[in-house]
A and B are shown apart, each in its own frame.
Chain A
């Protein structure tokens, strides 16, 4: 017979018909290649279930928190829909009769009023149920906004013409853009030589292909895609969204929001400089040709064509990081400067990888580095602290872990993080056989978060810990568990097992 190839997977996972399986087995015994393939197929089949990954406590709670409004909305809609179903379901024939009386008549004089009745009923249903119900799509077609999409929606920049001058920001001129194509009221090509002191802030907007400089006195200079600064530097803004902060003969500074600028700077006078800032880096030159690229939100790339450029990482006052110190980029080189956010995200990702690989020491180092750089206001501080607590508990440092969990639980972080901290603290006590401490922690949890994510677990443990006892607290937990989760098999089993004697 010919080698069965991928059919060996069916043999490996027991889905092959018996007769065929016997035939294939006989072949495998005599074929070295198929023996190797069969071993591989068995390994793949055996390892596949491990691809199902456990969901972290943090992810569970965080997502549930984020989904809460959608759940509330869906639940309310379902209740409304169920109420209407009940209402209409009782007398469907009467409703139909109202619209379509069966009097046996024929012809448009009869059908027209019936259609009108139907229209009225549909309009009433639409008005009562609301467009959110009637217009909903079936199946999976409706795109739902993600966190990222929401952020993007909420951070769309104002068009330049709609921007409001800021009363608090330092005055700036702006290399802004217009949506008008060249030729339609286009400004003549001219040098850019506006003083910065008396200019308002105008929010920039990225539109490729046409740029002008807006000032209080009106638009004064532009070329399609290029600007000539007072110091003589030529800036190519074709793909950029940038703001000019200073524009003096010996001192020019611009901020690059996103996109890419290419700058050619003539030799500047002594003390003179041109600076391009992004969220991640400050690029300073005296006379050279270079490009600053901020098209990726996670880093800035500096490419130097002539001369030398000094690049300082943004984020002053933070822990020095590899690749974040001041560097000089020479002609023919390019350097990528990671944003602080990207750096922190990388720390978290590497922390997770280290945890997954069981490298607790490395994981601890990553967690501590994150906490040092992010400071107390970091976006994932609570999550990282919880992970660090987990690492500490796994390395036998229970007291430190408990202190960390307690700090998160009593902190002012998000509700889910505080809930998580109390829940894992209770589990820590459970694992250390500190029954009283565990009971007290679940007590505290129920008082602080009576509708929290882990109420079921708290009640189950309260009942389990009070198994055989009949005091008031245990009885109260029993009643709570029975009332709220009595229908769930696990809860019912606990209630049955720990029935008061």
Chain B
């Protein structure tokens, strides 16, 4: 299978200022570069939030909005924050429209908690699939917060700009998300860890 690296620009090699200037003057190459630069981020976020349903539509919707509104980007935040904000809004809106905001995740939480034995858990915990399964069991906003911080490296303030919230709110949610993960992580359960402070 083809190596994805042959067609994706490494993000660190694209200068944001030049890219924005190109977008403002309507250079087609700039749009292409923006697309290539942010497609992995947007696709990952959409896949994280929507799993396999409607991901392509959400990614397309995100880029349509980006292209239509790029002239309104004033540079008050990093471009990546702005792009993530659009992608997050698209995905959360899609989840709300589906009406599966809670139900699907509750189902998956049950699967994660009840469907595996300790041995399987131990094997699975080594893989990111297990982490993904745990994240799937969380509220979408918590998942977004975790993803933006731990995967995309955004600060709490930047996540606040993405979600339209105060930094303190983001920090509290991040804390609760981490607590949820620790509580659900198999070997982190006190009875398995075998001790108290």
Contact = CB atoms under 8 A, between A and B. Distances in A.
Contacts of B195: 31-33, 35
Given A50-B128, A60-B7, A144 B65 contact: yes
Contacts of A35: 193, 195
B132 A36 contact: no
A63 B64 contact: no
Identify whether the interface residues of A are mostly helix, strand, loop, or mixed: helix
B47 A53 contact: yes
Contacts of B13: 488-490
Nearest to A56: B4
Interface in B1-43: 1-4, 6-10, 13, 18, 23-29, 31-33, 35-36, 39-41, 43
Interface in B48-72: 48, 52, 54, 56-61, 63-65, 67-72
Contacts of B48: 51
Nearest to A355: B1
A67 interface: yes
Contacts of A137: 69, 72
B95 interface: no
Interface in A337-369: 349, 352
A5 B180 CA distance: 11
A454 interface: yes
Interface in B81-98: 85-86, 89, 93
Contacts of B169: none
B101 interface: no
Contact of B1 (A9, A53, A60, A394): A394
Interface stretch (A68-76, A97-105, A318-326): A68-76
A45 interface: yes
A52 B152 CA distance: 8
Interface in A380-422: 387, 389-391, 393-394, 420
Given A60-B7, A82-B24, A488-B9, A5 B179 contact: yes
Interface residues of B, number: 81
Nearest to A405: B2
Contact of A139 (B72, B128, B188, B192): B72
B178 A390 contact: no
B62 to A, nearest CB: 8
Contact of B150 (A45, A389, A489): A45
Interface string B104-130: 000000000000000000000111101
Given A51-B147, A59-B56, A27 B197 contact: yes
B128 A51 contact: yes
B43 A55 contact: yes
A169 interface: no
A121 to B, nearest CB: 20
Contacts of B196: 31-33
A313 interface: no
Contacts of A147: 56-57, 60
Contacts of B25: 78-79, 82
A41 interface: yes
A63 B60 contact: yes
A50 B129 CA distance: 9
B190 interface: yes
A44 interface: yes
Contacts of A139: 69, 72
B182 A57 contact: no
B175 interface: yes
B75 interface: no
Given A33-B193, A36-B192, A44-B131, A77 B181 contact: no
14 contacts: A31-B195, A37-B188, A51-B128, A51-B132, A53-B43, A75-B31, A77-B71, A79-B25, A140-B85, A391-B1, A427-B2, A427-B3, A454-B7, A488-B33
